[in-house]
Copies of this chain bind each other. A is one copy, B any other.
Amino acid sequence: MCPSKTPDGEQRGWIIPIGGAEDRESRRRILKRFVQLSGGRDADIVIIPTASRKADTGSRYEELFQRLEAGRATVVDFVDREDGARDDYLRRLETATGVFFTGGNQLRITTILGGTPAARLIRTRNAHGVHVAGTSAGASVLSEHMIAFGKEGSSPRAGSVRLAPGLGLTNRFIIDQHFRQRDRLGRLVAALAYNPYAIGIGLDEDTAAFIGPDNTLEVEGSGAVTVVDASELQFSSMADVSQSQAVCLLGLRVHLLVAGATYNLHTRIASPGSLVTEKT
């Protein structure tokens, strides 16, 4: 389940995790940008409401995208594992320019879609330039290592987070959403402490990380994206503590990015981006 290879001469599509509760009524900056990226009036968006148990989740996004003048936006609802191999669903994904995962429970997405032809196709299509966005639970599943569940509001404890394989569009980062609203820094940091290779991305509500083909992340929305870089970690007690004990982690690098700011997932360099340009 490694990310699919992008063929020479092509560009990977954008990967767009959203922190949940994105603005759907007024400026709708995040959804609007997703529609524009996907082609605007030529966009062909597949909405996957599999994470949600509510019957109208998909149709509500259909309306939202139509009001934003997306060319086409229709629901493809995978409700059991057999759906992951349905020809009509796979054909729909073949022609899409954008894929959107709604919120709900991320384990519903991975248990239903994990390992199916549909999951493989989404990875391949992303490698060929199709943009894939997800909000809340739909954001968590985008990466290779997914936070399945975890405790909120405490310092990182060895047992405070559980990882599961996600859809694997990328393995560069681990995502958590509703970040400051639900106080999830502890569990994100605990996830990184297992293996500091990945970069932690904590998304506030109504805030998205637009991750381009060059792995530069740009922030959109009203809140902040918290980037936790554990690559310079001097010390971690993770391997030596019991489940309920607080973990000692020395040398984390943290950036709080708002709309306009960028972070390069390759070089691990943060930049104020257009925040500085706007000032001058």
A250 with B261: CB separation less than 8 A? yes
Tell me if A166 counts as interface (CB < 8 A to partner B). Answer: no
Residue A272 at the B interface, CB < 8 A? Answer: yes
A108-161: which have CB < 8 Å to B?
153-156
Chain B CB within 8 A of A90 CB: no
Binary CB contact string for chain A from 242 to 280 against chain B (1 if under 8 A, 0 otherwise): 000111111111111110110000000011100110010
* Interface assignment of A209: CB less than 8 Å from any CB of chain B: no
A275 to B245, CA, bound (A): 13
B254 close to A248 (CB less than 8 A): no
Residues of B within 8 A of A179 (CB): 155
Q: How far is the CA of A268 from the CA of B249 in the complex (A)?
A: 15
- Residue A261 contacts which of B204, B245, B248, B270 (CB distance < 8 angstroms)? B248
- CB closest chain-B residue, reference A256: B249
B251 in contact with A247 (CB, 8 Å):
no
Contact between B250 and A272, CB atoms less than 8 A apart: yes
Q: How far, in whole Å, are A240 and B275 apart by their CA atoms in the complex?
A: 10
Q: Nearest CB to that of A227 among chain B residues? A: B250
- Interchain CB contact under 8 A, B224 and A272: no
Bound CA span A258–B247, Å: 7
- Cβ of A250: which chain B residues have Cβ within 8 Å of it? 255-257, 261, 270-272
Number of copies of this chain that the complex holds: 2
Q: Which of A177-213 contact B (CB under 8 A)?
A: 179-181, 183, 185-186, 189, 204
Select one of B181, B260, B270 contacting A154, CB under 8 A.
B181
CB A231 to nearest CB in B, in angstroms, measures 13
Complex contacts, A181 vs chain B, CB 8 Å:
153-154
Contact residue among B186, B251, B279 (Cβ-Cβ distance under 8 Å from A180)? B186
Within 8 A of B (CB), among A63-78: none
A184 to chain B, nearest CB (A): 10
Asked if A234 is an interface residue, CB under 8 A from chain B, the answer is yes
| Chain B residue at minimal CB-CB distance from A225 | B155
The reply on A59 being an interface residue by CB < 8 A is: no
Q: State whether the Cβ of A95 lies closer than 8 Å to any Cβ in chain B.
A: no
- The 4 A-B pairs of least Cβ separation, nearest first, read A155-B224, A183-B183, A250-B270, A252-B254
Chain A contacts to B: CB under 8 angstroms:
153-156, 179-181, 183, 185-186, 189, 204, 222-224, 226, 228, 234-235, 237, 240, 245-258, 260-261, 270-272, 275-276, 279
Beyond A246-B258, A251-B255, 11 additional pairs, beta carbon < 8 A: A155-B223, A155-B226, A155-B256, A183-B183, A234-B270, A237-B275, A240-B275, A246-B256, A248-B275, A250-B256, A252-B255
